[in-house]
């Protein structure tokens, strides 16, 4: 009943949050005429109440233009292929450019693909970018069937086929395992659309290496426990009514607890910035948490299979992972250049876990293998922020360019 309990609580809080949304701009108007500390504090309190509201709808990417060779170029979103569970989204430029085509594989981990907004924006300057825009499972009707690891891998292979030969794949965090599996199968089959390069960033290829708290948690309970305590049916009011899901609000409640002091500090600072009138700093915090609190439910099959295969059985590094009953063999990859990227201070996917892909891809010659560690970077710093833009992205761009040449 966790979903029903959450929904009842959300409905109970809805009038209060709605009132905050109405009162906040009125207080802003009053504050413009007569600034008082009381007004500022009340406005800040309303803003915090608004900010902590969970949403279940993907925010806009908001990427309308990008600079290409110092020229401003318009960008529009096109969907060349859609399934009930995912849209292959293409950020199409309004001029013809000869740039490497890249499929950016976004995590299906409780957030929407817009979590990679900055990743997309940065890569667009030099690449023709596509992304896996995963749908909220609570909006997918039960009649659309199951979605597990097999279906995830199949989606990636289908998307690469749609994009066409000579393209590249970049997977971030959770999808690194299915991405490597998809490339291995395509390589073994000699598929024309096998990626020219594969970049794996902060992904759990082998969680036996330097286990993090996330890894340890997965080992403390059985899959049956996860199913009994964390899986629930979508309420009838939604399109995916009665679909079994791992609710996004459960996932999002777990992450802040890992860094609770940091999040409490962030909200306190947000409050202080609003009271002081430092709207520029407050806007940065607001933007982060608006994205952070936009949550998506995961299909139960995919969540439970990920816990079992990736975090408990280590199926891929142990040679036990299968797709549709067929063994996944990374050693079959012979022509796809591999780049792995890790953050030194990543507390979700620790050093060595992504690098493990090099040993699995034993069919690749040494010059086709590249590994990069970003000093001081945490998990999110691998694909967003200053370190991503200034240090990591140039490495990714170079790897793609070399493989494309």
Encoded tokens for 73:
């170029």
- State how beta strands 168-172 and 101-105 pair: parallel
Write the CA distances from 211 to 80, 153, 307, integer angstroms.
39, 25, 14
For residue 1, the model assigns a pLDDT of 63
Contact 200, 340 (CB under 8 A): yes
pLDDT, averaged in runs of 10, over the chain (405 residues): 60 48 50 55 63 75 93 96 98 94 94 94 97 97 97 98 98 97 98 98 96 86 92 91 90 61 67 70 69 85 97 97 98 98 94 98 97 95 94 98 92
3-state secondary structure string, 353-393?
Answer: CCCCHHHHCCCCCHHHEEEEEECCCCCHHHCCCHHHHHHHH
Type and span of the H or E element at 256: helix 248-258
Q: Which CATH superfamily is domain 65-215+300-404 in?
A: Alpha/Beta hydrolase fold, catalytic domain (3.40.50.1820)
Residues 245, 234 contacting (CB under 8 angstroms): yes
pLDDT at residue number 46:
63
Phi, psi of 10 (to 5 degrees): -65, -40
Q: What pLDDT score does 248 carry? A: 85
* CATH 3.40.50.1820 domain span(s) along the chain: 65-215+300-404
CA dist., res. 146 & res. 297, Å (int):
14
Task: State pTM to two decimals.
Answer: 0.87
Helix (H) and strand (E) counts in the chain: 14, 14
Per-residue pLDDT, 16: 47
How far is it, in rounded angstroms, from Cα 152 to Cα 134? 10
């Amino acid at each position: 009943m966790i979903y029903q309990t959450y929904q009842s609580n959300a409905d109970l809080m809805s009038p209060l949050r709605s009132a905050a949304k109405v009162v906040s701009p009125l207080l802003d108007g009053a504050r413009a005429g007569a600034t008082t500390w009381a007004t500022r504090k009340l406005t800040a309190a309303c803003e915090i109440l608004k900010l902590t509201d969970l949403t279940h709808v993907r925010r806009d990417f908001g990427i309308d233009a990008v600079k290409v060779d110092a020229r401003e170029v318009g960008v529009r979103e096109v969907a060349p292929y859609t399934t009930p569970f995912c849209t292959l989204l293409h950020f199409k430029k309004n001029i013809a450019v000869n740039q490497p085509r890249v499929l950016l594989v976004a995590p299906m981990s409780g957030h929407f693909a817009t979590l990679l907004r900055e990743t997309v924006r940065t890569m667009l300057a030099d690449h023709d970018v596509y992304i896996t825009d995963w749908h909220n499972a609570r909006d997918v009707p039960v009649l659309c069937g199951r979605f597990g690891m097999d279906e995830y891998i199949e989606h990636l292979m289908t998307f690469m086929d749609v994009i066409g030969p000579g393209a590249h794949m970049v997977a971030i965090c959770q999808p690194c395992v299915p991405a490597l599996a998809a490339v291995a199968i395509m390589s073994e089959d000699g598929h024309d659309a096998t990626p020219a390069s594969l970049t794996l960033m902060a992904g759990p290829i082998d969680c036996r290496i330097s286990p993090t708290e996330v890894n340890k948690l997965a080992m403390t309970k059985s899959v049956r426990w996860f199913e009994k305590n964390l899986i629930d049916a979508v309420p009838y009011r939604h399109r995916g009514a009665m679909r079994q899901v791992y609710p996004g609000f459960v996932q999002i409640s777990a992450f802040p607890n890992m860094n609770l002091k940091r999040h409490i500090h962030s909200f306190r600072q947000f409050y202080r910035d609003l009271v002081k009138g430092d709207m520029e700093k407050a806007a940065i915090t607001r933007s982060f948490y608006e994205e952070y609190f936009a949550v998506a439910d995961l299909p139960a099959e995919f969540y439970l299979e990920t816990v079992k295969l990736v975090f408990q059985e280590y199926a891929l590094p142990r040679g036990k992972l299968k797709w549709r009953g067929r063994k996944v063999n990374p050693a079959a990859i012979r022509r796809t250049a591999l780049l792995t990227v890790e953050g030194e201070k990543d507390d979700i996917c620790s050093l060595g876990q992504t690098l493990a892909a090099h040993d699995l891809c034993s069919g690749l010659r040494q010059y086709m293998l590249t590994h990069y560690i970003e000093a001081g970077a945490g998990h999110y710093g691998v694909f967003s922020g200053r370190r991503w833009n200034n240090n990591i992205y140039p490495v990714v761009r170079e790897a793609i360019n070399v493989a494309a040449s």
